[in-house]
DNA sequence: CGAGCTTGATCACAGGATCTTCACAAGGAA
DNA sequence: TTCCTTGTGAAGATCCTGTGATCAAGCTCG
């Protein structure tokens, strides 16, 4: 087989970005409690991680927060806000910055945008609109950073490389097919039991027909290849009547009595539907 | 054809490969002559290529224009403007879209942004501000594309020269056409598997139609020329069900004991939503 | 302004690789 | 035991990619 399929290239691609699949992190620098509260409620529903601060924050502090987006009221910064904005944008080019501040002149808005802000909203404004503006800005960023999101992970003897759409054991490719890889990746990313319907829907993209055994068949193929490449390990566990769970465990071949209940990870199953 | 620059294509596909050098192309769909005139004067000074149209334009027509940005007055489209906006954004994800229209409700603005617009300006507005908003939207793209080395690189026996828009082996030109070169450059710059849709979008500049085989055909032509110029090497690898990956590898033709190379397996994307 | 050449878009077909589907065996639950 | 769920193996249906050819559009050169 072709070398590339057989041996995992050594170079490490995905220079791990921090913002993996976690929730979007947004900081709001604003003093209006009412405004931030409304925003908080709305964002909570959307699932974003919101942090609100009403006093100036140093640029370095912002950096350590690993934000995805920043909503800034220039009034909070006061004089020197232009320099501040410029430094923030220069320091974190990948950060989505939305200025949300009181009445301003055209010249001011132009200046803000030229310094690196992605959008300018004038207060008072509707929370929903602000959110969609932030979303629009993030959409661009995400598109730009897509390639960075792939991160190779290693669990047990297994190495999953999304950039190559392949899994390896000791640098040896498992020769997974597209679908097999997707399922393995999905399973390896969650440490809970996944129902067949869930797996099917997330991999195939649409609802599973009643009685469809595709997932079972693929799990079998996966186990086959995993066993071949990494004998002595058990990766995919069956939860009778529920689905499958991924967790690397050395085979307790010999009489070791208790083989059961392998570490009930947090948030075990979802229980019956 | 001359080995060197097939003359930098007027504009660049989204790949931004050479976008940096060519003028930005902007289309304004608006009926206000005064407004567009002011804009024209201003943009002329900035060096952008502006085109103004006061009647609806089909999405396909927009695609052929190879735009960088679009400023749209929804009033020009009339009923069905939402669908229009949606189709435009879906078809050209890399296009910067700014809605510049009359008075609107919060709900309308939110809807527009959610459908894919990058920004929303309310008329009447200042030309200078509109320009800076368009710039802000474009900035993201360019930033994403900046990292591209306008620098010649050599991999395997292959030398890619963006400055000449051509690839060489032993100083011998491969006589690639513009599009062939763009694809080769894109592939050679990333060391991961690229899905066809991704390749298409970054080279052609808009979304790939379902079932389009263009990428395959070009890859075939590329392989042909690569094989002709650099026999004994394998550059583009197929990942069944996923796409292609670039990696120079000497052909392990002869009886080397090792088995065949049945195309590197690979998993497919994480489903594209 | 037209002939001739180049480039890019589509098709149809062939050979494989991958998925689905089945029927049956094996393992759990009651 | 008896019913239901899951593991297995295999065959046929599908889907995917490589390839060669055709056609339209754009450009160059007379």
Nucleotide D8: nearest residue by CA–C1'?
A220
Strand D nucleotides, any atom under 7 Å to a protein CB: 5-10, 16-21
| Residue range A70-80: mean pLDDT, rounded | 96
pLDDT at A149: 61
Q: What are B248's two structure tokens?
A: 């120079």
Tell me how far apart the alpha carbons of residues A133 and A98 are, in angstroms, rounded to a whole number.
8
**CA angle at residue B224 from B263 to B267, to 5 degrees?**
25
Å: A3 CA to D9 C1': 30
What confidence score (pLDDT) does residue A22 get?
61
Residue B190 has φ and ψ, to the nearest 5°, of -115, 135
B180 CB inside 7 Å of strand C: yes
Beginning with the edge strand found earlier in the chain, give each strand of the sheet holding B243-250 in spatial order: B194-195, B243-250, B233-239
What is the CA A10 to chain-centroid distance, rounded? 24
Q: Are B44 and B36 in contact (CB under 8 A)?
A: no
pLDDT band at residue A94 under the 50/70/90 scheme: confident
Q: Check B271 against A175: CB less than 8 A apart.
A: no
Per-residue tokens: A181: 């890889």
Residue whose C-alpha is closest to residue A270's, from A187, A192, A188, A184: A192
Choose the closest CB to A5 out of B137, B190, B264.
Answer: B264
- Residue ranges and CATH numbers for the domains of chain B are 25-145 (3.40.50.2300), 153-250 (1.10.10.10)
Given a contact cutoff of 8 angstroms between Cβ atoms, the answer to whether B200 and B213 are in contact is no
Closest-approach nucleotide to residue A243, Cα vs C1': D6
B200 CB inside 7 Å of strand C: no
The spacing between the Cα labelled CA in B240 and the C1' in C17, in angstroms, equals 8
Residues of B in contact with A139 (CB under 8 A): 116, 118
pLDDT at B29 over 90: yes
- The mean per-residue pLDDT over the stretch A34-54 comes to 93
For residue B132, give both structure tokens: 């800076």
By Cβ distance, the residue of B118, B264, B266 closest to A140 is: B118
B14 has pLDDT over 70 = no
pLDDT in tens, A109-167: 999 999 999 999 999 999 999 999 999 999 887 766 555 567 899 998 999 999 999 99
* CB-based contact B266 A110, cutoff 8 Å: no
Q: Given this model, what pLDDT does residue B148 score?
A: 55
**Residue A186 contacts residue A179 (beta carbons within 8 Å):** no
HEC string for chain B: CCCCCCCCCCCCCCCCCCCCCCCCEEEEECCCHHHHHHHHHHHHHHCCEEEEECCCCCHHHHHHHCCCEEEECHHHHCCCHHHHHHHHHHHCCCCEEEEEECCCCHHHHHHHHHCCCCEEEECCCCHHHHHHHHHHHHHHHHHHHCCCCCCCEEECCEEEECCCCEEEECCEECCCCHHHHHHHHHHHHCCCCEEHHHHHHHHHCCCCCCCCCHHHHHHHHHHHHHHHHCCCEEEEEEECCCEEEEEEEECCCCCCCCCCCCCCCCCCCCCCC
Positions of strand C less than 7 angstroms from a protein CB = 6-12, 17-23, 28-29
The answer to whether the C-beta of A46 is closer than 7 A to strand C is no
pLDDT score, position A260: 41
Which of the nucleotides lies closest to A180 (Cα–C1')?
Answer: C18
Q: Mean pLDDT in chain A? A: 85
Cβ separation of B191 and A163 shorter than 8 Å? yes
Q: Beta carbon of A177 within 7 Å of strand C?
A: yes
- Residue B158 sits at φ, ψ, to 5 deg, of -95, 140
**CB-based contact A112:A85 (threshold 8 Å):** yes
Nearest to B129 among A110, A163, A176 (CB): A110
Q: Alpha-carbon distance B56 to B176, whole Å?
A: 37
Q: In A, which residues are within 8 Å of B261 by CB distance?
A: 1-3, 5
Among A4, A9, A226, the strongest candidate for a mutation testing the B interface, having the largest count of B CBs within 10 A, is A4
Q: Which residue is nearest to nucleotide C19 (CA to C1')?
A: A214
Q: Which nucleotide is nearest to B212 (CA to C1')?
A: C10
Let me know: does A72 contact A29? Beta carbons within 8 Å.
yes
For residue B151, pLDDT beyond 90 = no
Residues of A in contact with B259 (CB under 8 A): 1
> By C-alpha distance, which of B121, B123, B124 is closest to B132?
B121
More confident residue, B8 or B144: B144
What percentage of chain B carries pLDDT values higher than 70?
81
**Are the CB atoms for A25 and A62 separated by under 8 Å?**
no
Q: What is the C-alpha separation between A148 and B192, in angstroms, rounded? A: 11
Instruction: From the CA of B2 to the C1' of D30: give the distance in Å.
Output: 20
Higher pLDDT among residues B265 and B48, named by residue: B48
Chain A hits for B237, CB-CB cut-off 8 Å, are: 2, 4
- Please give the pLDDT value at position B145: 53
On the 0-12 / 13-18 / 19+ scale of CB atoms within 10 A, A15 is exposed
């Amino acid at each position: 087989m072709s070398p590339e399929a057989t041996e995992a290239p050594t170079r490490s691609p995905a220079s791990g970005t921090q913002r993996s699949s976690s929730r979007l992190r947004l900081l709001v620098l604003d003093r209006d409690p009412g405004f931030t509260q409304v925003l908080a409620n709305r964002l909570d529903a959307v699932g974003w991680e919101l942090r609100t601060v009403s006093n100036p924050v140093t640029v370095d502090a912002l950096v350590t927060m690993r934000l995805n987006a920043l909503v800034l009221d220039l009034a909070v910064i006061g004089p020197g806000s232009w320099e501040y904005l410029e430094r923030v944008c220069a320091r974190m080019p990948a950060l989505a910055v939305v200025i949300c501040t009181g009445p301003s002149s055209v010249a001011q808005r132009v200046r803000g945008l030229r310094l690196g802000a992605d959008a300018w909203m004038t207060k008072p404004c509707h929370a929903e609109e602000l959110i969609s503006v932030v979303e629009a800005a993030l959409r661009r960023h995400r598109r730009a950073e897509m390639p960075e999101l792939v991160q190779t992970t290693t669990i047990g003897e297994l190495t999953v490389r999304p950039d190559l759409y392949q899994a390896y054991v000791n640098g040896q490719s498992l020769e997974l097919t597209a679908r097999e890889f997707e399922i393995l990746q999905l399973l390896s990313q969650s440490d809970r039991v996944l129902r067949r319907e869930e797996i099917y829907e997330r991999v195939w993209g649409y609802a599973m027909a009643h009685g469809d055994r595709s997932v079972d068949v693929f799990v079998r193929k996966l186990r086959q290849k995993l066993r071949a490449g990494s004998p002595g390990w058990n990766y995919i566990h069956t939860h009778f009547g529920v689905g499958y769970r991924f967790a690397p465990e050395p085979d307790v071949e010999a009489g070791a009595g208790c083989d059961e209940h392998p570490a009930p990870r947090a948030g075990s199953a979802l229980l019956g539907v």
